[in-house]
Structure 1
């Protein structure tokens, strides 16, 4: 399928139907990882022409994604990042952890958005934010695509820094997601302080099962199943 650049059509519709003047795009990364935070970027772009080649971060090569993120950070009107730690993910479950990270990102913006375009089918943000969910919004909406790229590059950089102290886990390459190197290190060394301890990967590690957190929410268990299959890599 030929490349279809994202547009401002959803943002224009929100502006026209609700009177919103400031519309933010929100996207997350790290949902399916075994280690590291879940990271959310909230971005505001206005209706200016987007940089060439902008699309969902997962469709870009690492080199192009990194270059584009630098361009986007200078181009957007504003952006902010929010994170939920592995401990918060274990304690709250993924849906609440996403809400917390997204709230932190939105509240970190210099202006409060009148409306939010959220990538995906489910509104994990909720009141008091005025949310429009858009499936594959990271491909179709300029403001969400911008948030997608920035979130991915920033979280990957965070995981690469952690990788300097945990080289055996391959965080520089897998960013905390499932991989053969990651699994082998877990079997040999056990989870680090950066791992999510309520997730099902520990069930396959008899030596380390005693570390598993007891609290599991339904949405966490559903997302873990995806994580074991390399979901959202």
Structure 2
């Protein structure tokens, strides 16, 4: 199914209405995973024509996504990644962890952006950043689409490396599922329980009586809110 390619329409609108010159597209990956970090990429692209086939990373095959990431690393004006660990997610809640990862990414850029385009409808970044939220921005905005691909490829690689380097992670299939729910992941959790790389405040532990005692209770104010991505249970 063909998709309309992303454009610079939002970037041009922000430039025209605010005078911003450096605009970063920001997108995250790993929000709904049971294990691993949440990863945010900030990408500054300017208004040049993007590589062919750029769109939301979820709509691109893994092989093409990896190839496109290599092209994007050379094409973007600048980009940086930020991560929030499973421990930080458990302590802070997903909204605050996303903000932490995004700030780490934005702070790592060589030049501070004048404005940020954030994928989705919720502004988890907030002040002092000038933020424009765009629903499905990873499909419609060039800078956000670039951030989507770069974040996805890097986090997937991190999870595959974790599977290869850690004996206790080998049975979880992180190289295939990247820490997201899957039959292999589910079966390994039932048999072996969570690793230090799992999020221990997630509700999947409610369905594992033998490991339920490991579940952490969040202590931050934001911990009480249900996060639609990471708080989904799983029928074990």
TM-score normalized by the length of structure 1: 0.95
* Residues 1:23 and 2:26 aligned together: no
Contact (CA 8 Å) 1:34, 1:227: kept in 2 or not? no
The 3 A distance-change label for structure 1 pair 228 and 7 is farther
Is 1:222 the counterpart of 2:228? The answer is yes
RMSD (CA atoms): 1.3
In structure 2, the gaps of 5 or more residues are none
Where 2:42 maps in the other structure, the secondary structure is strand
Cα distance in structure 1, aligned partners of 2:104 and 2:146? 18
- Larger CA deviation: 165-174 vs 211-220: 211-220
- 1:170 corresponds in structure 2 to 173
- What's the CA shift string for 1:38-60, capped at 9, x where partnerless? 00000000000000000000000
Matches within 5 A, 1:1-233: 2-164=2-164, 165=166, 166-215=169-218, 217-226=223-232, 228=234
With structure 2 as the length reference, what TM-score do the two structures score?
A: 0.94
- Out of 139-148 and 212-221, give the one that drifted further: 212-221
- Unmatched 5+ residue regions in structure 1? none
- Per the TM alignment, residue 214 of structure 1 is displaced from its structure 2 partner at its CA by 1.6
Determine if contact 2:45/2:78 at 8 Å carries over to the other structure: yes
Distance 1:64 1:128, change over 3 A: same
Verify the 8 A CA contact 1:22 1:115 in the aligned structure 2.
yes
* Superposed displacement of residue 226, structure 1: 3.9
Aligned length: 229
Q: Helix, strand or coil: the match of 2:152? A: helix
Q: CA deviation at 1:218?
A: 3.7
Kept in 1: contact 2:94–2:227 (CA 8 A)? no
3-state SS, counterpart of residue 188 of structure 2: helix
CA distance in 2, matches of 1:224, 1:81: 20
Counterparts of 1:195 and 1:201 in 2: how far apart (Å)?
11
